[in-house]
Amino acid sequence: MKTSLPFICNPDYPFARQWIAALQQAMPDEEVVPLSALDAHARASCTVAIVANPLPQDVRQLPQLRWVHSVWAGVERLVADLADLELNVVRLVDPQLAETMAEAVLAWTLYLHRDMPLYAAQQTRRQWLAADYARPQDTTVGLLGLGALGEAAADRLAGAGFNVCGWSRMRKSVSHVECFAGAVELPAMLARTDILVCLLPLTVETRGLLNATTFAQLPHHASLINFARGPIVCDDALRAALDAERIRHAVLDVFSIEPLPPDSWQWAHPRVSVLPHISAPTDRQTASAIVGQNIRRYRETGEIPESVDLARGY
Ligand code: NAP
């Protein structure tokens, strides 16, 4: 008989049915069902669940739960909501997600590097004016975060000819990347960065990391791409830095409140490009295959995949 495997998401989430179908296809030996389909006996014995931004009270309905597999890479809300439970949180690590993010980082880096915001603004004024050309070899992209996504982005950027620097908590060794580590080395990386790309998880340490102090450590006219999480950036400090032309342009895919409210300043700021959290959408098929492999191994061996370090927050 098949074991019931709950998929738990927010009741408003519009793609639950599609996720259940993709997960079911990847795991024919399981019966993937919404939480509401589990009877009392199944709830009492369930040890693993798949989650997509679940309500914490729903997860708490499973008293024997040992671990949850998220279908997203960022799990800060899950970690905060379930901190009191003795639960392993496994996040999605999918090479396809890393490739999608690397493509977005390269695309928006080129957008800034080739002065597209400038030419778009000039077009509205019918202005024919060529800016100086800089070679990618003369442009340094600084990556905040050299994890699954940061490393893939670094590879694409280096392949396109950019100088690449990267910053992580522990020192890393990545080919073609000048690596910086820890809070003490952040100012040195910022000082040589022309385009700063944020790919950090949101944790106690990274919340508000990009503020007036760190912006002041960038060269004048550096640009910012935030593809990680909104609260890593202090919005007021960013606005001030943009208004003062300390920061030339910001490409923002993530915000403290999403969807970005219609009255937010970012929508109309001439130095901001607003994206609706699209830099790296999870691919349901590849993600379901990875979740399926992990669940299968757990059923066969009892092994829980590498989990989020709850103290570290990622
Ligand atoms: P990851 O593999 O966990 O990598 C995180 C990186 O950040 C690591 O290099 C880590 O350093 C570094 N880091 C964490 N805290 C730090 C600190 N305090 N100081 C310096 N470095 C620090 O995560 P990932 O899979 O690359 O994903 C990164 C984030 O991208 C996710 O958490 C999520 O928020 C975001 N994301 C956004 C989208 C989107 O569509 N916008 C899609 C997917 C993911 P160590 O290497 O030393 O541990």
pLDDT digits (tens, 9 = 90+) for 163-191: 999 999 999 999 999 999 999 999 999 99
Catalytic entry in 192, 277, 296, 299: 277
For atom 25 of ligand 1, the residue with the nearest CA is 148
**Going by C-beta distance under 8 Å and a sequence separation of 6 or more, which residues neighbour residue 248?**
112, 221, 222, 223, 271
pLDDT band, residue 1 (cuts 50/70/90): confident
Q: 279: Cβ below 6 Å to ligand 1? A: yes
For residues 193 and 89, membership in a common domain is answered with no
3-state SS, residue 283: coil
How far does residue 142's CA lie from ligand 1's centre (Å)?
A: 14
- Rounded to whole angstroms, how far apart are CA atoms 259 and 272? 16
pLDDT band, residue 86 (cuts 50/70/90): confident
> Which amino acid does the sequence have at 126?
R
Residue 314 forms part of a structural domain: no
Looking at the CA of residue 314, tell me the nearest atom of ligand 1.
Answer: 3
Residue 309 forms part of a structural domain: no
For residues 126 and 44, membership in a common domain is answered with no
Domain count, the chain: 2
- Rounded to whole angstroms, how far apart are CA atoms 173 and 183? 17
For atom 38 of ligand 1, the residue with the nearest CA is 280
The dihedral sign for the CA sequence 207, 213, 214, 216: positive
For residues 207 and 107, membership in a common domain is answered with yes
For residues 133 and 263, membership in a common domain is answered with yes
The mean pLDDT value for 235-262 works out to: 98
- Rounded to whole angstroms, how far apart are CA atoms 2 and 187? 55
Average pLDDT, the chain: 97
3-state SS, residue 36: helix
For residues 200 and 134, membership in a common domain is answered with yes
**Going by C-beta distance under 8 Å and a sequence separation of 6 or more, which residues neighbour residue 226?**
198, 210, 232, 233, 250, 251, 252, 253, 254
How far does residue 131's CA lie from ligand 1's centre (Å)?
A: 34
Percent of the chain with pLDDT over 70: 100
pLDDT reading at 5 higher than 90? yes
Number of Cβ atoms within 10 Å of the Cβ of 288: 24
For residues 149 and 191, membership in a common domain is answered with yes
Nearest C-alpha neighbor of 232 from the set 203, 258, 195, 268: 203
**Going by C-beta distance under 8 Å and a sequence separation of 6 or more, which residues neighbour residue 109?**
141, 157, 160, 162, 195, 197, 225
- Rounded to whole angstroms, how far apart are CA atoms 287 and 266? 32
3-state SS, residue 282: coil
For residues 233 and 101, membership in a common domain is answered with yes
What is the reported pTM?
Answer: 0.97
The mean pLDDT value for 265-278 works out to: 98
Residue 278 in tokens = 């699209």
3-state SS, residue 100: helix
For residues 90 and 205, membership in a common domain is answered with no
Please report which residue ranges of the chain form alpha helices under DSSP H.
16-26, 40-45, 56-59, 76-81, 95-113, 116-124, 148-159, 182-191, 212-216, 235-243, 284-301
* Contact call for residues 305 and 283 (beta carbons, < 8 A): no
pLDDT digits (tens, 9 = 90+) for 108-158: 999 999 999 999 999 999 999 999 999 999 999 999 999 999 999 999 999
pLDDT band, residue 293 (cuts 50/70/90): very high
For residues 143 and 33, membership in a common domain is answered with no
Residue 294 forms part of a structural domain: yes
